[in-house]
Amino acid sequence: MRKIVLGLLLISITFSLHAQSSNDIVVSGGFDLIKTDHNSAFDKAQLGVEGNYFIVRNFAAGAGLEIWTEQKSSFVMGMRWYAMDHVFVRFRGLIGANDAALGGGWAKPINDTWRFEAIGDFYFGQTEFSIRAGVSYIIKKK
């Protein structure tokens, strides 16, 4: 009985999925809610904007810009691998900050084109951790 209920639950979830496909472009932006080097609220700000192109259904390559209030901005190049439709792992190189970040995220569909994203990143050069929130817009292929 337990397997039947689990199977029906998984089948019902698939009807609500809004997955991306190859050649789609995702444009996203977000800001750090929490970062380990922030000493007080509103002390610093860090935000990012990026675009990702889906080479295949679960792998995207992207580029963007990171903006900090207390250091110079960085050009970002990276990739995302979607383990499931709404869960991804990303790796980014930050040119300008001379750093790299490895993170994971979750994208909750709002509708067919908009998503809410929550991302956690570990920065290797700064040995910092951050939690970021933002939104993304999917430009679907024709």
Q: pLDDT digit string (tens) for 8-18? A: 444 444 334 44
Residue 4 has pLDDT above 60, yes or no: no
User: CA dihedral in degrees (43, 63, 58, 114; nearest 10)?
Assistant: 60
Q: pLDDT digit string (tens) for 80-138? A: 999 998 999 999 999 988 899 999 999 999 999 999 999 999 999 888 899 999 999 99
CATH architecture, domain defined by 19-139: Beta Barrel (2.40)
More confident residue, 142 or 50: 50
The pLDDT value recorded for residue 64 is 96
Q: Which of 72, 118, 135, 59 is nearest to 99 (CA)?
A: 72
Q: pLDDT digit string (tens) for 27-84? A: 999 998 888 876 766 667 789 999 999 999 899 999 999 998 877 789 999 999 999 9
Please give the DSSP secondary-structure letter assigned to residue 58: T
The pLDDT value recorded for residue 2 is 60
Task: Give the start-to-end residue ranges of the domains of the chain.
Answer: 19-139
* pTM across the whole model: 0.78
The pLDDT value recorded for residue 119 is 96
The pLDDT value recorded for residue 40 is 67
The pLDDT value recorded for residue 15 is 37
The contacts of residue 108 (CB under 8 Å, 6+ apart) are 86, 115, 116, 117, 118
Looking at residue 118, its amino acid is A
